[in-house]
Chain A
Amino acid sequence: MTNTTFSDWNGDINAIGPIYPFVGWEVLMVIVLIAFIIWWHFMQIRMENDADREAAEELRTGDNLARALEAEHTPERM
């Protein structure tokens, strides 16, 4: 079994084309990449929205927001 389209490095180098494995599967790899990118952005947006909502709720509670603003000016706590 081999995953390559050429046999060795000792022949005519000029005849060698693509050197990555699984030549012929490029379209499938592109589809996988597109699916991953869309999934990543979907997850990122959800994660960021959740974090923002949680922080906002927490900061609206008691004097949390005032304490957070105060901490901005306390170097060792930042």
Chain B
Amino acid sequence: MDKDIGAIQILFTEVYYWVTVVFMFLIHVGFCVYEVGVSRRKNHLATLMKNVMLIPVVSVTFYLFGWWLYSAMVSGPGITGGLVASPFAEPWSELMGPHMGGAPVSESLTADDTALWARLNGVFWAAFLLFSWTTASIVSGSIIERMKSGAFWLVAIMVGSGTWIIDAAWGWHPSGWMVQLLGYHDAYASGVVHAIAGGTVLAVLINLGPRIGKFREDGTPRSIPPQNPWLVCIGLFLIYTGFWGFYAACNIPIYDVQVGDGVFWSATNIYLQAVTLSGITFNFIMSLAGGLMAGYLVSRADPFWTFSGGLAGIIACSAGNDLYHPIQAFLLAALIVAIIYKLHHWVERRFRIDDAVGAVAVHGYSGFLGVVAAGFLLWGYPSSPDALLEHTEAFARVTPWGQFIGAVIMFFVLGFIPGYVLSWILKRIGFLRISRELELAGLDYHMHQRTIRDDDELREALAAEARIEASRGGGAGAPRPAPAE
């Protein structure tokens, strides 16, 4: 019987994550639609290609080393232990491909490894990979219309297959050193996905500089409004929808959470702490509502910032949305959205930061403040069920200072600093920003020129055909004369 339940648990978990990947894919669709809507017409195609091609670029590197980093870097290394052996996640492992769970061929794996990971490795890998796409895609929107695609993809690899998954190992793993020592709690990734991406974006934007014409001589910003507000709104709606999948993928759907005798099956968060999907549903919706209402008011009904406010509201509460009361989630979302809206415009004016989609504010500031707020609201909570994980020493509890240090690690240490260093190097070698001429003409210049040339040739060819037909004389069935050039 136990064996049957164990098999059903694994099969259900496999299917569950497989489905979350489908929902999370909508986040990327949404980001693409959104970015194209924001970009000017002369940059549409390049903007789309930049975001689409991060899919293969990040996926392959995540296969090669990103997934391994998540398990291997849990202890730092060097903080609570060394590198953790993770043979199932090495790119040459037989478990990184289709496997039926029988005895391993490789000597580095055990029969228990293959029995467990054969059905979970691929779907876990994909779920985490979709977070990687999201993290990279957050960067993508802010830097539109002037950054070289190749440079962006290098940043995407760094954040998507490197820094974010290291922060996940540290603070979003049941045995992560930040969870153990700081009591870090970030159930739905305010910090580990959003703050780190926001910090990276801010650093890249400093080195990249604003779009030509964005700022007046006196430093005040000019508005470059979304070129297609409908696409922007639909894109953000798709991101909301995908965010459900994101939340779903942050849970383990069925797990025996009872320590000692007895059995208690429950969904858990990423820390294996028991949660109810029902409670999370309350909080997801209420934080969305709080963000939308605050965004609407502070932006004076600006659709772009109202929609973005909804997204920022969820992000602001994600660190503690497994435990908050829905009204707390609502109020916290509203408060943080009001703050980040003001902060975005202050930073834009003060430092001439041209963030085309407000990602630093929506993801970075919201994520940072959300992690810090969780430290106050969840003060004293156990960070994770340490005994369930068979740790002999109790983990630290949630505290404001633990969360603050965690937020700083996410936004600055793993977000801002690596982003600044890489974009500075790319700038120094002249591979960060496109030429001024191309920026003025638009990134789709070559494609448009080709289209125009082909279109002109086609017109001439059709006109020539029409003249030949006309010279043969009209009549029944003869084509109509070509329109005047």
Instruction: Report A's interface with B, CB cutoff 8 A.
Output: 5, 13-20, 23-24, 26-27, 29-30, 33-34, 37, 41, 44-45, 48-49, 51-56, 59-60, 65, 68-69, 71-72, 75, 77-78
Please choose the segment from B100-108, B167-175, B182-190, B246-254 that sits at the chain A interface, where 4 or more of its residues have CB less than 8 A away.
Answer: B100-108
Which residues of chain A have C-beta atoms less than 8 A from B427's C-beta? none
Instruction: Assess whether B103 is in contact with A71, with CB atoms less than 8 Å apart.
Output: no
Which residues of chain B have C-beta atoms less than 8 A from A45's C-beta? 150, 431
Of the candidates B101, B153, B435, which one forms a contact with A56 in the assembled complex, judged by CB atoms under 8 Å apart? B435
Instruction: Assess whether A78 is in contact with B448, with CB atoms less than 8 Å apart.
Output: yes
- Measured CB to CB, the nearest residue on chain B to A49 is B431
Known: A19-B99, A55-B445, A55-B446. A30 touches B91 (CB 8 A): yes
Instruction: Assess whether A37 is in contact with B60, with CB atoms less than 8 Å apart.
Output: yes
Instruction: Assess whether A14 is in contact with B441, with CB atoms less than 8 Å apart.
Output: no
Which residues of chain A have C-beta atoms less than 8 A from B438's C-beta? 52, 55-56, 59
Which residues of chain A have C-beta atoms less than 8 A from B445's C-beta? 55, 59, 68
Instruction: Assess whether B40 is in contact with A72, with CB atoms less than 8 Å apart.
Output: yes
Which residues of chain B have C-beta atoms less than 8 A from A55's C-beta? 435, 437-438, 441, 445-446
Of the candidates B42, B92, B437, which one forms a contact with A72 in the assembled complex, judged by CB atoms under 8 Å apart? B42
Which residues of chain B have C-beta atoms less than 8 A from A53's C-beta? 435
Q: From residue B242, how far is it (CB to closest CB) to chain A in Å?
A: 27
Q: From residue B168, how far is it (CB to closest CB) to chain A in Å?
A: 22
Q: From residue B281, how far is it (CB to closest CB) to chain A in Å?
A: 38
Question: Which residues 283-337 in B have Cβ within 8 Å of A in the complex?
Answer: none
Instruction: Assess whether A68 is in contact with B105, with CB atoms less than 8 Å apart.
Output: no
Of the candidates A18, A51, A68, which one forms a contact with B442 in the assembled complex, judged by CB atoms under 8 Å apart? A68
Which residues of chain B have C-beta atoms less than 8 A from A54's C-beta? 446
Instruction: Assess whether B92 is in contact with A15, with CB atoms less than 8 Å apart.
Output: no
- Judged by a CB distance under 8 angstroms, whether B461 is at the interface is no
Known: A26-B94, A72-B40, A78-B41. A17 touches B435 (CB 8 A): no
Instruction: Assess whether A77 is in contact with B94, with CB atoms less than 8 Å apart.
Output: no
Question: Which residues 78-106 in B have Cβ within 8 Å of A in the complex?
Answer: 91-94, 96-105
Which residues of chain A have C-beta atoms less than 8 A from B61's C-beta? 37
6 examples of A-B residue contacts, CB within 8 angstroms:
A16-B102, A20-B98, A30-B91, A44-B150, A51-B446, A68-B440
Among B61, B91, B102, find the residue whose CB has the most chain A CB atoms closer than 10 A: B102
- Judged by a CB distance under 8 angstroms, whether B452 is at the interface is yes
Q: From residue A46, how far is it (CB to closest CB) to chain B in Å?
A: 9
Instruction: Assess whether B92 is in contact with A19, with CB atoms less than 8 Å apart.
Output: no
Q: From residue A14, how far is it (CB to closest CB) to chain B in Å?
A: 6
- Judged by a CB distance under 8 angstroms, whether B19 is at the interface is no
Instruction: Report B's interface with A, CB cutoff 8 A.
Output: 40-42, 60-61, 63-64, 91-94, 96-105, 114, 148-150, 153-154, 431, 434-438, 440-442, 445-446, 448, 452
Known: A77-B452, A78-B448. A20 touches B97 (CB 8 A): yes
- Measured CB to CB, the nearest residue on chain B to A68 is B441
- Measured CB to CB, the nearest residue on chain A to B452 is A77
Which residues of chain B have C-beta atoms less than 8 A from A71's C-beta? 448, 452
Of the candidates A33, A48, A60, which one forms a contact with B150 in the assembled complex, judged by CB atoms under 8 Å apart? A48
Which residues of chain B have C-beta atoms less than 8 A from A20's C-beta? 97-98
Q: From residue B467, how far is it (CB to closest CB) to chain A in Å?
A: 24
Of the candidates B42, B102, B148, B150, which one forms a contact with A17 in the assembled complex, judged by CB atoms under 8 Å apart? B102
Q: From residue B92, how far is it (CB to closest CB) to chain A in Å?
A: 4
Which residues of chain A have C-beta atoms less than 8 A from B148's C-beta? 48, 52
Instruction: Assess whether B94 is in contact with A17, with CB atoms less than 8 Å apart.
Output: yes
- Measured CB to CB, the nearest residue on chain B to A29 is B92
| 3 smallest beta-carbon distances between A and B, as pairs | A68-B441, A16-B100, A26-B92
Which residues of chain B have C-beta atoms less than 8 A from A37's C-beta? 60-61, 64
- Measured CB to CB, the nearest residue on chain A to B93 is A26
Known: A16-B100, A33-B60, A77-B452. A41 touches B150 (CB 8 A): yes
Q: What is the CA–CA distance of A78 and B442 in the complex, to the nearest angstrom?
A: 11
Known: A48-B149, A65-B440, A77-B448. 6 other contacts (CB 8 A): A13-B102, A17-B104, A26-B91, A37-B61, A45-B150, A68-B445
Q: What is the CA–CA distance of A43 and B393 in the complex, to the nearest angstrom?
A: 52
Q: What is the CA–CA distance of A54 and B91 in the complex, to the nearest angstrom?
A: 40
- Measured CB to CB, the nearest residue on chain B to A42 is B150
Instruction: Assess whether B153 is in contact with A59, with CB atoms less than 8 Å apart.
Output: no
Q: What is the CA–CA distance of A27 and B41 in the complex, to the nearest angstrom?
A: 45
Instruction: Assess whether A19 is in contact with B104, with CB atoms less than 8 Å apart.
Output: no
Which residues of chain B have C-beta atoms less than 8 A from A60's C-beta? 437
Which residues of chain B have C-beta atoms less than 8 A from A24's C-beta? 105
- Measured CB to CB, the nearest residue on chain A to B92 is A26
